[in-house]
A = this chain, B = another copy of it.
Amino acid sequence: MKEKLKKFKAIVAEAADLYRASEILGWDQETNMPPGGAESRGIIRGTLEKLSHEKYTSDELARLLEELESAIDQFDPDSDDARLIRYIRRDTDKKKKLPSEMVAEKAKLLPPANQAWRQAREESKWSIFEPHLEKIVDYVQRRAEYYKPYDHIYDPFLDEYEPGMKTREVQAIFNGIRPKQVELIEAISKQPQVDDSVLFKNYPKGEQIEMGVDIITMFGYDFNRGRIDEVTHPFAATMGYGDNRLTYRVDENFLNSFLFAVMHESGHAMYEQGLAKELDHTPLYEGASLGVHESQSRLWENLVGRSKPFWEWYYPKFQKRFPTQTKGVSLDDFYKAVNKVEPSMIRVEADEATYNLHIMLRLEIEIGLLEGEFKVKDLPEIWNTRFKEYLGITPKNDTEGVLQDVHWSFGLFGYFSTYALGNLISLQIWEKVNADIPNLEDQIRKGDFTALLSWLQDKVHRHGKKFEPQELVERVTGSKIDGGPYIKYLNKKFGELYGL
């Protein structure tokens, strides 16, 4: 059995390395590649991903997998090996369900759809994107057929990003929190608004970057095992054990674009720096799910980075670095500014109290489309009506409404809800870590994040994708994914901030 396990892991390592190589090429593509290289790069990445897929779905691996499964009681069920075997079974079964024609069809469908979306967005003209989205929805519906039986047509797509999670679970969670978030922002809208003009002063780029490096180094991001680079759309990328990078952008006239985004991406990157070395060269060497990944980025961005204790520590340094920009702005003013709640059209600019509502709207639309209840042509109207209902405002055109996100034009159905799940999970973890480290606030007030990061590494990071998100969250916090702690947090924080 030892020989078989070794052979099994060797094939898996090749498949994982091929996929990882494509990710490294992807990082280069976003950060460094000159425009001329796009076509060739696409072909090379296509080759790597195809060969990775072939390895995962090879008869040899299937045979070894069966043999190992027949002796699975010889393994500790929580060992890396047992979990890898389980993961590969689940993953390859799913991969094999989809015929290669369906993969090829998608590859043909998307480039013109993405191009049409860009044009539609530029001209704020839904009708340009509409026929493409119709084709995509039709494709996704047909694709679902291959994954039958399922409880809900949306399940196989959600499962891509949140393994094992069911649509009904997400709907139940979201239905539980939606009215409470709507109620909260209604209450806030009746209070006097805070002044956030300090965020819109001029902050020179070099100074901002220095500050960001300073902060994330203090958080515990290790530059000997990573680096940061400038891009148009920031992201974090893992290139293998010991090399986990992040990226940023800077707007000299809006502090948040860099400051909170770099904290956010450092959360992703520290998660990946904490993955156990033993998992490298396997598909388990990544975050448990997009939702769990987002819980780490949101924890550092919001629960640390937008907290009072953090700014009690950092605001004096910030004032020293930016004396003219912060003139006459007290710690309390600044804390309020970075926590201003205001319904806005654009998801990526949304604050903590309104963000999830943007997500829920999208989830409802995706489900409505797949179930056939919504027609593509009606989306602008559906969008605007629900937007008004949840956030109290109406987009002035489709560019700042239904056309704002790139995801659907890339065929990404099932992705959006992970952003909101991440918010919820971050609070569940936050409650637990604060119970385990009772003086955590004091530590943050001193700029000491070592105990926090160690705790996260031990409880969350090192496990990688060994456990499915619901199991991991339950192991860490004692309960499954649950919106309760997030609502409690919002009510307390913004109740105080807005004097409710």
Return A240 CB to nearest CB of chain B, in Å: 3
Interface 0/1 of A40-56, CB less than 8 Å to B: 11011001100100000
Kindly identify, within residues 8 to 60 of chain A, every residue whose CB is under 8 Å from any CB belonging to chain B: 13-14, 17-18, 20-22, 24-25, 27-28, 32-41, 43-44, 47-48, 51
What residue in chain B is nearest A33 (Cβ atoms)? B243
How far, in angstroms, from A21 to B20 measured CA to CA in the complex?
A: 11
- Chain copies in the assembly? 2
Say if the beta carbon of A225 comes within 8 Å of chain B: yes
Cβ contacts under 8 Å, A280 to chain B = 40, 43
Contact across chains for A13 and B226 when beta carbons are under 8 A apart: no
The reply to whether B18 and A51 form a contact with Cβ atoms under 8 Å apart is yes
In the complex with contacts A24-B28, A225-B34, A241-B47 CB distance below 8 A: no
A424 to B41, CA, bound (A): 35
Q: Bound complex: CA of A176 vs CA of B366, how far in Å?
A: 77
The range of chain A's interface size is 35 or more
Closest beta carbon of chain B to A282's beta carbon, Å: 12
Residues of B within 8 Å of A27, CB to CB, are 28
Q: In the complex the two chains form, what is the Cα distance from A280 to B36 in whole Å?
A: 13
Given known pairs A40-B243, A240-B44, the reply for A227 and B21 (CB within 8 Å) is no
Whether B281 pairs with A36 at a CB distance below 8 angstroms is no
A297 to chain B minimum Cβ distance, whole angstroms, is 20
A223 at interface by CB-CB < 8 Å? yes
Pick the residue among B33, B38, B224 that contacts A35 (CB under 8 A). B224
| CB-nearest residue of chain B to A240 | B40
Contact between chains at A36 and B227 (CB < 8 Å): no
Interface 1/0s, chain A 264-297, versus B by CB < 8 A?
0000000000000000110000000000000000
Q: Residues of B contacting A227 with CB < 8 Å?
A: 32, 34
Give the distance in Å from the alpha carbon of A21 to the alpha carbon of B240 in the complex: 15
User: Does A80 reach chain B (CB closer than 8 Å)?
Assistant: no
A239 interfacial contact with B, CB 8 Å: yes
Q: Does A400 contact B (CB under 8 A)?
A: no
Complex Cα spacing A41 to B241, Å? 8
- Contact among B13, B47, B224 with A18 in the assembled complex (CB-CB below 8 Å): B47
Determine how close the nearest CB of chain B comes to the CB of A78; give it in whole angstroms: 25
CB A153 to nearest CB in B, in angstroms, measures 36
Q: Once the chains bind, are A241 and B39 in contact (CB under 8 Å)?
A: yes
Cross-interface CB contact of A43 among B17, B34, B43, B225, cutoff 8 Å: B17
Q: A223-B34, A227-B32 are in contact. Are A13 and B47 (CB under 8 A)?
A: yes
Contact B243 A41 (CB under 8 A): yes
Contacts of A34 in B (CB 8 A): 223-227, 242-243
Min Cβ gap A417→B in Å is: 32
Instruction: Name A's B-contacting residues (CB within 8 A).
Output: 13-14, 17-18, 20-22, 24-25, 27-28, 32-41, 43-44, 47-48, 51, 222-227, 229, 239-243, 280-281
26 example contacts (A-B, Cβ-Cβ < 8 A) are as follows A17-B43, A17-B44, A17-B47, A18-B47, A21-B25, A21-B48, A24-B24, A24-B25, A28-B239, A32-B32, A32-B227, A33-B243, A34-B223, A34-B224, A34-B226, A34-B243, A36-B226, A36-B241, A37-B225, A37-B241, A39-B242, A40-B241, A40-B243, A40-B281, A43-B240, A44-B240
